[in-house]
Each structure stands twice: as C-alpha cells, then as structure tokens.
A and B are shown apart, each in its own frame.
Chain A
Amino acid sequence: MADEIIIQTQGLVKNYGSVHAVVGLNLAIRKGEVFGLLGPNGAGKTTTTLMLLGLTAPTAGTAQIAGLDCVRNPVEIKKIAGYLPDNVGFYSDMTGRENLRFTGRLNGLGGQELETRIDGLLARVNMTEAADRKAGTYSRGMKQRLGIADVLLKDPQIVIMDEPTLGIDPEGIRELMALIRELSEKDGRTILISSHQLYQVQQICDRVGIFVRGHLIACGRIEDLGKQLQSDQSYVLELGVRPDTPELKTFLESFPGVVQARFENSLYTLQTNGDIHTELTRALLDKHFDVYHLHQRGGDLDEIYRRYFEKAGEQNGSQHESTEQAVEKKHRRV
C-alpha cells in the first residue's frame, strides 16, 4: 500500500501562447506521502496543481489521480482531492461556519452529519471561537486555517496546497506544519505542497521535486538530493577568520584539499575535495588565527535549491536563449 502511486503525470505540457509554463512533467507521488513541489515564482507550480485538479486543460500529456484521468473526470477527482489555493478567500459577509456549510452542501453533505463534521474540523484547526464571526474580519492566518478546515470537509484522500505558508507569522507556520504532518501521519492522506519557502517545507516533506521554468530538474528525498550534489561537485566551506592578513589567503590556498579560495562578504569560501574542516580549523588555530565562523554548505535545501538552479540555468542557457530567460537570469544575480 505504501508504494501505491496515487498521482501520476506523463509528459504533461502546458503552454500559454508562446510561454511554456510546464514542459514535459513526469511525476509520480505515492499514497500517504508528503510531497513538496518547490520552485521560484512563475516556475509552473500552480499551473501543475491546476492541471492535476482538471481546472486547466493540459496542452499535451496526461495526469491521473487514483487512476482517474484529470481531464475527463474532473468532478470525480475533486471528490477525492481537496485544493487549498494560495490567497484562499471566503465570502466576507458570511461567517466562517456558514462558509464551511456552503462548501459542505456543494459536496452533497447536509443535516446533522455536516454540522458535526464542521464542529470537529473547527476544533481541529483551532477556529471554534472565531467560527461565528464574519469571514471578512479574519486575519490571513485565520483564513488559512479555515481554508484547511474547508479542504478537509470533503474528507479528501489527497490534499493539494498552494503556498500554504505565505503571509503567516512564524508561530502560525509552526502550527500549520504540525497540522499538515498530522494529516499525513494520523489520517494517512497524501499531501502535495507547492511552495517557494524552502525551510518550512523541508521540515515536513518526505520527498521534494524542484521545479524551474516548467522543468522538474530534481526529484527525491532531501538527503538524497544533497548527496547527489556533493558527489558531482566538491564540498564548499564557509570560513570566517581573524585577523585577515595576506598570509591567511596564501595559507588557505596552499592547504591540502583546497581547490579554490575566494574572499567575499568578509568570509572565505573554500571549494574543497573532501570534508577537511577539522584539519583546517586545527591548523588555523596552530597558526594563531581566530576562527569565528564555520559553515559546511550543502545538504540543506537552500543549498540544493541554489545549486540546482545554477545547473538548470547553465543547461537551458546553452540550449536556447530567450529574452525571458535572460531577464530571469539577471534577476537571480541581483
């Protein structure tokens, strides 16, 4: 059951005129896992989620959820898949509870069953006190929590969330992440999160897919992605040392294992072949240098993300240079 694939896309393509939003996406998400779709703004994440729900027709390729084709059976799919859009909105002149009741009735629920379910979900997302206030008075975080209750109302097997952490304070994000994790572990739901906020998503995702300009450039567990990067590129060590003398630079460059040493932002960035930070710090201390900053890059998602972007940029840049890409590259440098 754990290996059962519930969301699958094959060669999914979406073009908006001459703009390629999604290019040949092949994705397989297993039942019960939390999958993070990561990428910068405009990478095609939202387009992908909309295609999965049958809200946008793909230009080419197929998408399936639980064996159902997303183009042919959108209503069946929307019965088992809940969607939390980014900037989720509610009817401002209805209370939170009324909003949920309306969603429930759209899902064919009604009567006492619906009321008990609404009460349960309001308690679960911690919105019981605010439930009878008009939704127009809700803060961003409250709307997001009500949105989760709204999605869970139909008891979906799959929950798709678009930028769920956007505009929420750190405490709210922590609660949200705990809730998402609980949805996966306790209820056994499959969760697809699209986000550009890496750290938060990193904590809860089983697997991530990195999405750049419509291409899925990497997909797998975070540790695996990190290892993959470290194996095909050398280690990078950030080093802050006092006092900063000319001898220090020559010492660092001549140190065994160091490929290149660069000085930027008052820190040294060393490219090394292998993990040499213990030897290096010991040697520096012996020379009476003071090490006040030491950071082994790689392994965390931010680094993975950045590196994969660079790789994708190089590959795409050599293939075809469009103005759009040129603009995007410039933005990345800034």
Chain B
Amino acid sequence: MEASTSLPSKPSRKSTGAYSSGMAALYQKEMSDHINSPRFLIAFILLLVASAASIYGAVSSLASAAGSADSASSISSDYLFLSLFTTSGSSIPSFASFLAFLGPLVGIVLGFDAVSRERSQGTLNRLVSQPIHRDSVINGKFLAGVSVIFLLVFSLGFFVCGFGIIYIGIAPTWEEIIRILAFLLLTVIYASFWLGLAIYFSTVCRHAATAALACIAIWIFVSFFLSMIAGAIASAVYPLTGYGQLYNQLSNYNLTLWLERVSPYYLFCEAISTILNPNVRSLGITSMNAYSGAVASYLSVDQSLLLIWPHVVCMLALTLLFFVLSYVSFMRQEIRAN
C-alpha cells in the first residue's frame, strides 16, 4: 500500500517518541538561537560588567569598613561573604540590586519576539505543520528561555563568588552557599516571570516592537513608579494629616506594603534581602510586644526561607500565570499565512 519503501518503518519509530523528539529538537534549536544571538551576548556582557563593578564596589567598601575596624560597623562580620552580594559601593549598586534591575531586561530580551518572529518570518505555519503537538512550540520556547536564564544567572553568581574568594580570601560557609544558591534560584524565577510576560506579549502582539515596548513599559512601571503610586493611594485612603495620623499610620503603612507587593520587583527585593541577610527577622511592621523576649541572634536558613516562602510562591504563581496565558492564547490563535 505504501508508495515509498521508507514509510512503513517510520510510524512505528515515531509513534513512540514523536512528542519528545519534536520537543527536544525545538528546545535545542531555541537554545542555540539564544546563545548565538547578538542580543544575548549584549545582555551577558552588560550583566558581566555590572557584576564586576558591583564586586569592585562591594570589596572596596568592605575594605574601608574593615579599615575603620570597629565592631559597631554595619556589616556583620559573621556573614562577610554574603555581604559581597548585598553591599553597595559609594556610587555602585550591589550585585543583588543590579540583578533586580537587569533581570527583567534579560527575560524581556529573550522572549519579546519569541512567537511574533516565527510569524513574521513565515516559519510558524511550517513549524506547526510538522508532526509535533502545537504546544511543544511554546513549551520549547519557554523551557529554552528558562534554561538560558538559569545558565546566565548561575554563571554570573559563581563568577561573583569566585572573585569574592580571591579578593577577600574567605571561603563561604555551607550556610552561605545554601543562601547564595537560593538567591540565584530566586533570580531565575524572577527573570522567568519577565520571560513569560514577554512571550505572552509576543503571542498577542503582531509586531515584536509593540511587544517589547509593552514589556518595557510594565517593567519601568512596576520597578520605579508603583512605589510612588502606592504611597499616594495609601495616603489618599488613610490620610496622614492632623489627628488622623495617629490612627492611620499602621493602616497606611500596610496598604502601601500590600500595593507594592503587587510588583514582582518588590517581592523579589524583599525576598533576596531576607535570604541574603540573616539579620532580617521579619518583613513589614512588628510590634514591640512581639520583639520582647526574642533571642537576639541570626535567623537560620530554614527560618529565612520560611519567611520568604509566600514571596516565592507568589513569584512562581505569577510566572506560571503568564506562561499559561501565553500558552492558551497561542493554542487558540489562528495559524494563518500572513
């Protein structure tokens, strides 16, 4: 019945692994696309320069703190290695805050034209007419993006660690290593959220430029403007003038905090400052009552993790939300030739 000799053997081979092989091929292609693309190189160099600058700043301010050599220094000598990530130089932000600013950029750069480029190149309809499930296209893109982010963040993190060991000559303790790994993992989740957002916009928008602008607008809004707006809204709802100030102070602060926590940027900042600084014992307002009788000590890793668990769950949920949105919109979209 078969016209060709090679046909009968094919279905048996492919019926077992059509899905996985298609997915693997897509994943590999996306990975090599990302790694060979000039913009990935630009993002990488940008982050590399930023982290080198941040280490320089951190090391110099640590040295000056050590030079003044008094125990009242704000830097805790017990976790010197961790402070490499959080200490900022005189004018240079710390490595952690660099990642908080530039992590979104990496996610957006990797994802903003993921689907729209396929569409404009005319490769999308060729791709979906191959014997693969349609969702493996979007799954492959997202997974490859997350892998690239993972590689990027962890290599930068280890780069900072290595430089730190050379400069300050102190090896990190196990606890510090766990905290650093948790921090890097959080950064991956954070950047993946932006990747998911970018892929969503690339699915919905016809032009890559529109998607990029939308992503950057959201990035700037949640990173810079949301805190101002949150404060303004909270002050409008709970005014801090006259006698009302006495009653409203707590509600005002809580509302501001909740509004700010809408932003993944704020969530990320709270989470990493907790995980990288064992001194942080609580987030938000704590009454003096709660503090009375507390043992003055550092928080252990698991307690720090417990404190930021809601943040991690929220960030994962946001990431998944945007992935699911892009998945659904991609699956429901018409594949038309144009």
The closest CB in chain A to the CB of B38 belongs to A93
Residues in A whose Cβ lies below 8 Å from that of B125? 55, 83, 85
With A50-B335, A155-B4 as given contacts, are A108 and B14 in contact (CB-CB < 8 Å)?
Answer: yes
Interface of B, helix, strand, loop or mixed by DSSP: helix
* Chain B count of residues within 8 A CB distance of the other chain: 38
With A55-B128, A89-B126, A155-B10 as given contacts, are A106 and B26 in contact (CB-CB < 8 Å)?
Answer: yes
Interface residues in A227-266 (C-beta closer than 8 Å to B): none
With A46-B337, A50-B335, A105-B21 as given contacts, are A85 and B129 in contact (CB-CB < 8 Å)?
Answer: yes
Contact with A along B16-28 (1 / 0, CB 8 A): 0111011011101
Let me know if A106 and B121 touch, CB within 8 A.
no
Let me know if A79 and B121 touch, CB within 8 A.
no
Residues in B whose Cβ lies below 8 Å from that of A10? none
Contact with A along B253-286 (1 / 0, CB 8 A): 0000000000000000000000000000000000
Residues in A whose Cβ lies below 8 Å from that of B128? 55
In the complex, how many angstroms separate the beta carbon of B125 from the nearest chain A beta carbon?
4
* Contact among A53, A56, A162, A187 with B3 in the assembled complex (CB-CB below 8 Å): A187
Let me know if B21 and A86 touch, CB within 8 A.
no
* Contact among A55, A83, A108 with B17 in the assembled complex (CB-CB below 8 Å): A108
The closest CB in chain A to the CB of B1 belongs to A1
Interface residues in A97-133 (C-beta closer than 8 Å to B): 102-103, 105-108
Q: State the CA gap A162–B6 with chains docked (Å).
A: 26
Let me know if B7 and A106 touch, CB within 8 A.
no
Residues in A whose Cβ lies below 8 Å from that of B4? 155, 157, 187
Contact with B along A70-99 (1 / 0, CB 8 A): 000001101110110111111111000000
Let me know if A79 and B14 touch, CB within 8 A.
yes
Residues in A whose Cβ lies below 8 Å from that of B127? 106
Let me know if B126 and A55 touch, CB within 8 A.
no
Let me know if A107 and B122 touch, CB within 8 A.
no
Let me know if B131 and A75 touch, CB within 8 A.
yes
Let me know if B335 and A103 touch, CB within 8 A.
no
Let me know if A86 and B337 touch, CB within 8 A.
yes
Mark A residues whose CB is within 8 Å of B.
46, 50, 53, 55-56, 75-76, 78-80, 82-83, 85-93, 102-103, 105-108, 147, 150, 154-155, 157, 162, 187-189
8 pairs, A vs B, C-beta closer than 8 Å: A75-B131, A78-B131, A102-B25, A103-B130, A105-B21, A108-B10, A108-B131, A189-B3
